[in-house]
Amino acid sequence: MRRIPAAPLVFGLGTVLLMAGLWRIDASPERIWNGLSRLGWLVTLMWPPSPGGALPDLLHGLAESLAMAFLGTLLAALAALPLALLGAGNVVGSALLRFSARRLYDGLRGIDTLVWALVFVSAVGMGPFAGILALAVPDTGTLAKLFSEALEGADRRQVEAVRAAGAGRMLAVRIGLLPQVAPVMLSQLLYTLESNARSSTILGVVGAGGIGLALADRIRINNWDEAAFIVLMILAMVALIDGASRMVRLRLIRP
Amino acid sequence: MPAAAILAAEGRWRAARARRRRDLALGGAAFLAAVLAAAWIGEVSLPRLARGLPLAWDYIVRTMPVLHAATLGSDIADWMWGFGDWVALLGDTLLMAYVGTLLGVAVALPASFAAAATLAPGWVVGLSRRLLEFARTVPTLVLALVFVYAFGLGPFAGVLAIAVHSAGALGKLFAEEHENAALAPVEAVRAAGGSWPAQMRFGVLPQSLPGVLSLGLLRFEINVREASVLGIVGAGGIGEELYLAVRQFEYQDISAILLLILATVAAIDLVCGALRRRVLGGRAA
């Protein structure tokens, strides 16, 4: 009920900000019109999409993107599991450790994959390896956060039962805790894989491997029909990965 | 007789266990094959990983500012030498995200009613869904590349790229919100003679508005992150400055700019989180 008197104020401020923004980005009607006609012209250039005789190269680029997504996710999962155990309040009972682990997750995932790609291209050179690392680092943060939340939501009685049977702490985590959350974790892992399949297609723009390099090149040299073909290839791959991942996820949830 | 039953049960158990082990071995082998194939295509090997990780770590260490306790003030001033410019660029970035999100919502909201299976005829739903799907599957960065070419360098292209992608993503989520709305108010508006837009405005929107606002805020948070990297392809915002710093190996500038981006993103997340909770009120966040 409180928000009704605030509504005109919010709307007013929002509109002022929108106007300021439109002015700042220089959105004059003339510019929009010119841009749109140019865009229309680009679309006619894109039709019909054509691989331009480089289909094997493009397929290799796509496979490279897929491989980067897969290995990036795998690396992130391997790094995230121990981090998540450290940050889960019901595994390690230290509030300080939990707090610092949480901030570490935030720091890792607060920086975009593309920025990490820039960093890793400078650090380890161009190529898919930089892309894998760039995908893995922010995902480590995301997965560690999701995993630790899943761990904290687990039923503690099963852990207590394993402890009561005389098991040590490690064994209690392994037998009492992990089996409870494994399906949740796997499902989150599959979501990450889907998201990485998308991200991995653009990392090539900054030289971190995959199909993005070919796409950025085609756009740079105005080969719009080939650019359109590459975009269609990306869309097809994303749809394929989403479909496969959905199938696996359904099997995981209902074994 | 019981002994035979026990033997039979044990036989079934053994068979089940053997099957499970075989499935596990098959799955493991397939997984291993996938890892090896990916490593081969991705040009990764353990020696390369072992060589590369220290290099990456070394790079990150080099970006760290040199701060001495004695001269802390001037050291920080040195490190943040471009503070004013960077904050102005961050302001631009936020503005890009804001305008992009708003334009995206402006497109997504009408489209979402057409994409809600309970509210529109089948062929309209199918068509709108395909269009939204297309808009959200093309990565923002690819859209930015194309728009930079069409509209010229600068934040305008970035805003458009964000708007198109947001429209696709939000349209789908809004439609799901609308589908959860009760249909009785819609019928009431229709019975009172309301047109289809009036039915949507007065029958559906009041029910789905909290969800719509919350999703819009969530999208804004995502768009702030996206806007901060679009500068890499020349589409405005802080990303250009970051790209320059990386390209020119201005190590300490990289960490300074990244720190400012992180702080901005965290602040936006906090504010939007609070707003979202308030908008959703009694509903679970």
**Residues B142-182 pLDDT 10s:** 999 989 988 888 899 999 999 999 999 999 999 999 988 88
Mean pLDDT of chain B: 88
The SS3 of residue A59 is helix
For the cut 50, the answer to whether the pLDDT of residue A166 exceeds it is yes
The single-letter code of the amino acid at B47 is: P
What is the per-residue pLDDT for A255? Answer: 54
What is the per-residue pLDDT for B269? Answer: 86
In this structure, what token pair is assigned to residue B168?
């696709």
Q: Which chain B residues contact residue A231 at CB under 8 A?
A: 138, 142
- Best of B35, B149, B279 to mutate (most A CBs within 10 Å, chain A): B149
How confident is the model over B99-117, as a mean pLDDT? Answer: 93
Percent of chain A topping pLDDT 70: 96
**B117 CB-contact burial (10 Å; exposed 0-12 / middle 13-18 / buried 19+):** middle
For the cut 70, the answer to whether the pLDDT of residue B256 exceeds it is yes
Closest C-alpha to B237, from B165, B156, B167, B164 = B156
ipTM of the complex, rounded to two decimals: 0.82
For the cut 50, the answer to whether the pLDDT of residue A185 exceeds it is yes
State how far the Cα of B142 lies from the Cα of B168, in Å rounded to an integer. Answer: 15
State how far the Cα of A88 lies from the Cα of A147, in Å rounded to an integer. Answer: 8
How many other CB atoms are found less than 10 A from the CB of residue B120?
19
Percent of chain B topping pLDDT 70: 98
For the cut 50, the answer to whether the pLDDT of residue A26 exceeds it is yes
The SS3 of residue B90 is helix
Summarised one tens digit per residue, pLDDT across range A54-110 is: 888 899 999 999 999 999 999 999 999 999 988 887 777 778 888 888 888 888 888
> Do the chains contact at B56 and A201, CB–CB below 8 Å?
no
Give the number of C-alpha atoms closer than 13 A to the C-alpha of residue A8, restricted to the C-beta side.
1
| Residue B49: band (very low, low, confident or very high) from pLDDT cuts 50, 70, 90 | confident
What is the per-residue pLDDT for A5? Answer: 61
In this structure, what token pair is assigned to residue B255?
């960490």
Q: How far is A247 from chain B (nearest CA, A)?
A: 15
Q: Which chain B residues contact residue A22 at CB under 8 A?
A: 99
Q: Which chain A residues contact residue B150 at CB under 8 A?
A: 35-36, 38-39, 42
> Do the chains contact at A132 and B44, CB–CB below 8 Å?
yes
Note whether B264 and B237 are within 8 A (CB).
no
| Residue B282: band (very low, low, confident or very high) from pLDDT cuts 50, 70, 90 | low
What is the per-residue pLDDT for B285? Answer: 42
Q: Which chain B residues contact residue A115 at CB under 8 A?
A: 228-229, 242, 258
Among chain A residues, CA nearest to B41: A64
State how far the Cα of B149 lies from the Cα of A38, in Å rounded to an integer. Answer: 9
How many other CB atoms are found less than 10 A from the CB of residue A239?
13
For the cut 80, the answer to whether the pLDDT of residue A144 exceeds it is yes
Q: Which pTM was predicted?
A: 0.83
Closest C-alpha to B135, from B171, B99, B109 = B171
Summarised one tens digit per residue, pLDDT across range B209-226 is: 988 999 999 999 989 988
Q: Which chain A residues contact residue B99 at CB under 8 A?
A: 18, 21-22, 25
Nearest CB to A115; choose among B35, B154, B242: B242
Summarised one tens digit per residue, pLDDT across range A16-25 is: 888 888 888 7
- Best of B53, B131, B145 to mutate (most A CBs within 10 Å, chain A): B145
Q: Which chain A residues contact residue B155 at CB under 8 A?
A: 24-26
> Do the chains contact at A70 and B34, CB–CB below 8 Å?
yes
Closest C-alpha to B47, from A124, A79, A61 = A124
Q: How far is B35 from chain A (nearest CA, A)?
A: 7
What is the per-residue pLDDT for A1? Answer: 47
Nearest CB to A42; choose among B58, B98, B146: B146
| Residue A4: band (very low, low, confident or very high) from pLDDT cuts 50, 70, 90 | low
- Position with higher pLDDT, B56 vs A195: A195
State how far the Cα of A241 lies from the Cα of B52, in Å rounded to an integer. Answer: 29
How confident is the model over A150-167, as a mean pLDDT? Answer: 87
The single-letter code of the amino acid at A255 is: P
Q: Which chain A residues contact residue B56 at CB under 8 A?
A: 119-120, 123-124, 133
Note whether B170 and B105 are within 8 A (CB).
yes
**B13 CB-contact burial (10 Å; exposed 0-12 / middle 13-18 / buried 19+):** exposed
